Structure 1
Amino acid sequence: MFQKIKNYINKKITSLIFDLQKQEKQKMWWRFTALPNINIHHTFAPQDVHIFKGNEGEFGNITIGETFFVRDYCRISVLPGANLIIGNGVFFNNYSSINCIDTITIGDNTIFGEGVKLYDHNHKYGFNPDFFVDKTAFKTGAIKIGKNCWVGSNAVILKGVEIGDNCIIGAGCVIHKSIPSNTIMKNSQNLISESLQNE
């Protein structure tokens, strides 16, 4: 009898803690979406402010349309002064990321496979007098991805790229040049097989 009472109390305490955590998460989301530069449709899922990254609590301009869904371990980084515009019906699979310090625009009904990365910038580098890569200065270029595109797993889209409507980007492609509408891009790596049999 005592064990049943103990189990019941433990269940109630666990449930209460879970409810409090859920309420706090919801409050954080409401505070985030109440910011004047954040315009996220209420159908966004999951409503977790930790998906978004800015700089010391400051974010750039974020506009997200209806039914945008991200799976687990995705990160959306929009630094102050940057612009992220996402249309309706967009989907990001696990481990994908958006890294925006300039401008990234994604059209309606575009879907992204696992591990896709978008970067609208890269580090500045040069010789002064020796070769160096600057850790805090960047070269930027807006990314624009059209409507009804499918970007395969582990693709990387780099700064200054424009992808037209109705495009397919094959898994593992690194896109550093613009692509016209109605195009399929494939990774042209060649697979070489060798026998492991003893000769």
Structure 2
Amino acid sequence: MLHLILEKLQRKHQLSVLKKNPNTNVGSIKVGINNHFILSEELEKVAIGSSVNFRNYIHILVEKKAKLTIGNGVFMNNFCSVNCLDSISIGENTLFGENVKLYDHNHSYNAAPEFNVSKSDFSTAPIKIGKNCWLGSNVTILKGVSIGDNCIIGAGCTVFKDVPSNTKVFNQQHLISKSVL
């Protein structure tokens, strides 16, 4: 019984994190347990539509001057992570399988004269995911990627280049379909 009370308090707290930032606009959403929302006080904008469902252990980070838009009817399954330092847009009615990861940034690095990876400097580029997409379990979307409407990204794919609308992707190989998926 105590764990149910604690889960309810944790849900309320995470919803308040989303709603108390002056640059957020949050519609009707459902949140599961142990979600973690980290929003910079200096973020540009967070807009989350209606009928959005975040299952359990969702992690959303929106940093200073970054913008996150999540359309109506989006569903994120357990253990999804959205890491926004620039801009991420997710179209309406998009479905995420478990453990989907979005990164609109990479660590900066130097190759010469000596190889060095920065812990705190990043290169960024926006991510745009169209409407009515399905990203299977363990998909990773990297910076600068645009995915068109009505796409299926197969489980385990790492997407590092654009995907046109009405496309199925399995291990970054395109199988184009003009019919409804």
What is the TM-score of this pair, normalised by structure 2?
Answer: 0.84
Q: Is the 8 A contact 2:35 2:58 kept in 1?
A: no
Name the counterpart of 1:35: 21
Q: 1:76 to 1:60 in 2, by over 3 A?
A: farther
Structure 1 residue 142: deviation in Å?
Answer: 0.1
CA distance in 2, matches of 1:105, 1:70: 16
Query: Is residue 2:34 matched to residue 1:80?
Result: no
Name the counterpart of 2:178: none
Match of 1:174 among 142, 158, 163: 158
Q: Is the 8 A contact 1:157 1:175 kept in 2?
A: yes
Q: 1:107 to 1:28 in 2, by over 3 A?
A: closer
- 1:136 is matched by which residue type in structure 2? S
Q: 1:94 to 1:49 in 2, by over 3 A?
A: closer
CA RMSD of aligned residues (A): 2.8
Deviations 1:142-173 (A, max 9, x none): 00000000001101000000000000000011
Q: Is the 8 A contact 1:91 1:112 kept in 2?
A: yes
Q: Gapped runs of 5+ residues in structure 2?
A: 174-181
CA distance in 2, matches of 1:54, 1:28: 11
1:107-186 equivalences under 5 Å are 107-186=91-170
Q: Gapped runs of 5+ residues in structure 1?
A: 1-10, 190-199
Greater fraction of residues in strand: 2
CA distance in 1, matches of 2:37, 2:22: 16
With 62-71 and 29-38 compared, the bigger mean Cα shift is at 29-38
- 1:103 is matched by which residue type in structure 2? S
What is the TM-score of this pair, normalised by structure 1?
Answer: 0.77
Q: 1:138 to 1:18 in 2, by over 3 A?
A: same
Name the counterpart of 1:62: 46
CA distance in 1, matches of 2:14, 2:136: 33
For the pair shown, the structure with the greater C-alpha radius of gyration is 1
Greater fraction of residues in helix: 1
Name the counterpart of 1:51: 36
Moved beyond 2 Å, runs of 4+: 21-32, 47-51, 57-60
Q: 1:101 to 1:48 in 2, by over 3 A?
A: farther
